[in-house]
Amino acid sequence: MPEAGTGAGPMGRAGNPSALAAAEGTALAFDFGTRRIGVAVGSITGATTRPLCVIAAGSAQTWARIATLISQWQPAVLVVGIPRHPDGTPHEMTGRCERFARQLQGRFGCEVARVDERYSSAVIGAAAARDDDAAAVILRQWLEEQRGNA
């Protein structure tokens, strides 16, 4: 398993990109943080998700690693978790995550969906969670929302 900040290669924790990309659409999800960005991958039609890797945030290589992942996985959509206080009001990280989502869209021209991630840490147990596990929870939540809206 890669160390936080190294970002897994194309194999990462998820295995071969072509296995999920063969489905009718792939999604990449991001759990943005000021030190680390968790990334997960999933099949839109198969509603499967897997933690992929953790990228060091704020380094010179951050955007290059994200570009590599987008190139390798060719996602139909990018999903970004947007944190809020339990009552739904924004906090300091809300704006940072919104900015990250806008940067993804501007840099890569991909559709970027946003997910309210207020309770994702509770789902995975915050103390033991890896950032890519949190990204997988965010992606699962988005997939479930899509099925509910269909």
pLDDT tens-digit series, residues 20-55: 443 369 999 999 999 999 999 999 888 789 999 999
Angle between helices 62-73 and 92-108 (to 10 degrees): 60
The pTM for the full model equals 0.80
Bridge pairing between strands 36-43 and 26-32: antiparallel
Q: Which of 3-12, 31-40, 110-119 has the highest mean pLDDT?
A: 31-40
Domain boundaries, the chain: 17-149
May I ask the CATH class of domain 17-149?
alpha beta
State the Cα–Cα distance between residues 39 and 32, nearest whole angstrom: 9
Count the neighbouring beta carbons within 10 Å of the beta carbon of residue 94: 14
